[in-house]
Structure formats: C-alpha cells, structure tokens
Amino acid sequence: MDARGFLKLSVAVAVANIALKTAAWWLTDSVGLLSDAIESLVNLAGAGFALMMVVIARRPADEDHPYGHHKAEYFSSALEGALIFAAAAAILAAALERFVHPRAIETVGVGLTLSVLSAVLNGVLAMAMLREARRERSIALEADARHLITDVWTTVGVVVGVIAVKLTGVLWLDPLIAVGVALNILREGASLVWSSVRGLMDEALEPDVQAQIERTLAKFAHPSIRFDHVSTRRAGQRRFVDLHMHVPASWSLGQAAKMRSSVERALMRSVPGLRATIQLLPMDVEAYPLDREDPH
C-alpha cells in the first residue's frame, strides 16, 4: 500500500474513531472524552487534506512548476498543525465550562471500552504509516502518523483520568485532564507547523545523506578533478544537490560532459530520489553563487 492508500485508510479510521469517541462521550458525559473526540475531528480533516496534497505532490513537472509539485506535502502538515490549534481552543473552552459547572461521569465501563478500541485502531495504523512514510520520505504521511500517535497517548491519558475520577469522586480531575490533552496536542501542532516551515525554507539534506554524497564524490577525486560549492536541499520526497566540477582546461567538451554524466549517475544511484545538477568549470576558474557575491 502506498501513501495514498494509507491516507485513505486513515480517513476511514478517523470516521470510525469519531463515532466511537462521540459515543463514549455521550455515554459518560466526560469532558475529557469529549476532548478526545474533538481531536479525532482534526484527524479526519488532516487526513483528508493530506491525501489531496499527496495526490498533487505526485504530479509531474510542468511549464508552471518545472521542479515538480513535491512541496505540496508541506502544506498538509501546516494545515494539520493549524487545525490542532483550533481543536485545542475548543477543548480548553469545554474544560473551562466544566470547571465552573462540574458534573458526575456516568456509564464508565462501556464508554472506556469504546475509547480503548479507538486507541488500538489508531496505534496499529500509525505504526504502519510511519514505516511507509520513512520508505517514501513523505512528510504528509509522517505528520498524519505522528498525530495519530499523539491521539493514542491522549486517549490513554483520558481513560486513566476518567477511571481516577470514578474511583475518587474528584470531579475537577475530568476538566483538568482535558486541559492536559489540549496542551499536549498544542505541542504536536507547533511541531507540525515548524516541520512544514523548515521544508518550505529549502532545508539542507540530512547529515548522513550529505556524508554519502561526499563519499561518492571522493571516488572521482583526482589531481585533475575537484568538486566545490556543494549545496543540498529537500522538497517533499525529492532531494537536490548542486555543485561545481573543475576539470582541466585542455579537456574537450565531450570528455568533460562524459565525466559529469558519470558523476551524476553515481550520485543518483547512491542517494534514492536525488537530482544532481553539476556545473562544469576549468580547473583554474572559480565561480560563486550569486547570493554569496551580493548580500543584497
């Protein structure tokens, strides 16, 4: 199953979880369980938008987007983070009302059983999605999976809290748990937004990937060939590296182009999803990127 298949499954599971958690809240009248149900609404919206962005990200390059549509996935994690902020605000409002007007929790057994079932569904799906996200390097799939994991821990906390309320009779523990849920998902929302910002700012590749690029280039290093100004960036699933390759001025254009082609193929074989752009220069010529020459 690819990223789109997992996200379709995530939408279906989110719908099922909304039904389970809403029923749990309705049976128990627990604001903690209500907060858990509200977070599942965010899961549904986030998974739906992530699916749409993944479909867009898979589109081939065109005249208006010559480098492809890979960055579309970053918008998914940003929106999911924003939805989390909205959900946290709704949870805090419900918790405040319950602090002012506390109510007893009812029908705990059935309600908690439904909540635990939803947590199991989320946990199993999240683990499978994380594995696929690492394989496909999909930030949209990873963001949705990590949100599901947060949802699992939220449910665990709520279940423990509801049991504590039932055993102790301390009613204010219920809205206190809801506040804890809100703060926890706010942290997750901030993390998702920051991840999308980093991606949209063309962050460099991971250190281990950069090291692999350097090792590949070292295989071609020679007194008559050198590489410099190596820069990398990420755009969704796609990885890019730009560099200068200096060759002897006496080489023919064909000879230099043949060597460049060999280096490009080696780089793209060593790093999955990499696109390499190499500028050829004579050995005695230095060139610098424009932004290094002109700070303005």
Q: What is the pLDDT of residues 25-49, one digit of tens each?
A: 888 887 777 777 877 777 787 788 8
Both 53 and 180 in one domain: the answer is: yes
Residue 288 — pLDDT band, cuts 50, 70, 90? low
Task: Choose one of 200, 230, 264: the last residue of a domain.
Answer: 200
Strand order in the sheet with 274-282: 226-235, 238-247, 274-282
Residue 262 and residue 295 in contact, taking contact as beta carbons nearer than 8 Å: no
Do residue 58 and residue 136 come from a single domain?
A: yes
In percent, the amount of the chain with pLDDT more than 90 equals: 14
Asked if residue 146 and residue 74 are part of one domain, the reply reads yes
Is the same domain home to 258 and 158?
A: no
Of 200, 217, 248, which residue sits at a domain end? 200
Instruction: Please indicate, yes or no, whether residues 104 and 33 belong to a single structural domain of this protein.
Output: yes
pLDDT at 217 over 70: yes
Cβ atoms of 84 and 110 within 8 Å: the answer is no
Taking residues 1-5, report their average pLDDT.
Answer: 77
pLDDT for residue 257: 93
Number of domains forming the structure of the chain: 2
N- to C-terminal Cα separation, the chain = 48
Domain holding 277, by residue range, is: 207-293
Q: Are 115 and 252 contained in the same domain?
A: no
pLDDT digits (tens, 9 = 90+) for 142-169: 777 877 887 787 777 777 777 877 788 8
Residues 195, 241: one domain? no
pLDDT over 90 at 204, yes or no: no
Whether residues 68 and 213 share a domain: the answer is no
DSSP at 225? B
Looking at the structure, tell me whether residues 154 and 216 fall in a common domain: no
CATH number of domain containing 185: 1.20.1510.10
Q: Tell me the C-alpha to C-alpha distance, in Å, between residue 251 and each of 42, 227, 285.
A: 60, 16, 14
Q: Point out the domain boundary residue: 170, 200, 230.
A: 200
Q: Could you report the per-residue pLDDT of 230-259, keeping only the tens digit for each?
A: 999 887 667 889 999 999 989 999 999 999
Whether residue 219 contacts residue 276, with contact meaning beta carbons closer than 8 Å, is answered with: no
Q: How far is CA 23 from the centre of its chain?
A: 30
The band of 262, judged by pLDDT with boundaries at 50, 70 and 90, is very high
Can you give the pLDDT at residue 107?
67
**pLDDT band (50, 70, 90) for residue 291:** low
The CATH number for 278's domain is: 3.30.70.1350
Of residues 113 and 294, more confidently modeled: 113
pLDDT tens per residue, range 93-119: 777 877 777 777 666 777 778 888 888
CA dihedral 210, 213, 218, 221 (to 10 degrees): -120
Q: Is the pLDDT of residue 123 over 70?
A: yes
* Same domain? 144 vs 213: no
Q: Which residues are within 8 A (CB) of 11 and not within 5 positions of it... i.e. 6 or more apart? A: 44, 47, 48, 51
Average pLDDT rounded to a whole number, residues 264-274: 89
Q: Which residue has the higher pLDDT, 63 or 281?
A: 281
31 and 170 together in one domain: yes
User: Percentages helix, strand, coil for the chain, rounded to the nearest 5?
Assistant: 70, 10, 20
Q: How confident is the model at residue 215 (pLDDT cuts 50, 70, 90)?
A: very high
User: Tell me: the pLDDT tens digits for 59-89?
Assistant: 887 788 877 777 777 777 777 777 778 777 8
151, 38 contact by CB (below 8 A): no
Whether residues 150 and 24 fall in one domain = yes
